[in-house]
Amino acid sequence: MFHWLEKNPFFFASAISIVISFAGLIEIVPNFSKAARPLVDLKPRTVLELAGKEVYKKDNCIACHSQLIRPFKSETDRYGKYSLSGEYAYDRPFLWGSKRTGPDLHRVGNYRTTDWHEAHMKNPSKIVPGSIMPAYKHQFTNVADIETAYAEAVTVRNVFHTPYGPEFKSGKAAWEAHKPKVLADAKKIADEMQDEGVKKMVAEGKVPEIVALIAYLNSLK
Ligand code: HEC
Determine the distance from the C-alpha atom of residue 2 to the mean position of all C-alpha atoms in its chain, rounded to a whole number.
Answer: 54
| Residue bearing the CA closest to ligand 1, atom 34 | 61
The pLDDT value recorded for residue 214 is 98
Give the pLDDT of the chain (221 residues) as one tens digit per residue.
778 777 888 988 998 999 999 988 998 888 777 766 888 889 999 999 999 999 999 999 999 999 999 999 999 999 999 999 899 999 989 999 999 999 999 999 999 999 999 999 999 999 999 999 999 999 999 999 999 999 999 999 999 899 999 999 999 999 999 999 999 999 999 999 999 999 999 999 999 999 999 999 999 99
Q: Are 140 and 152 in contact (CB under 8 A)?
A: no
Measured between alpha carbons, how far is 159 from 73 in angstroms, rounded to an integer?
Answer: 38
| Residue bearing the CA closest to ligand 1, atom 14 | 102
The pLDDT value recorded for residue 7 is 84
**Torsional class of 60: left (φ above 0), alpha (ψ -120 to 50), beta (otherwise):** left
| Cα distance between the two ends of the chain | 63
Instruction: Among 74, 133, 209, say which to mutate for ligand 1: greatest number of ligand atoms within 8 Å of CB.
Output: 133
The number of residues making up the chain comes to 221
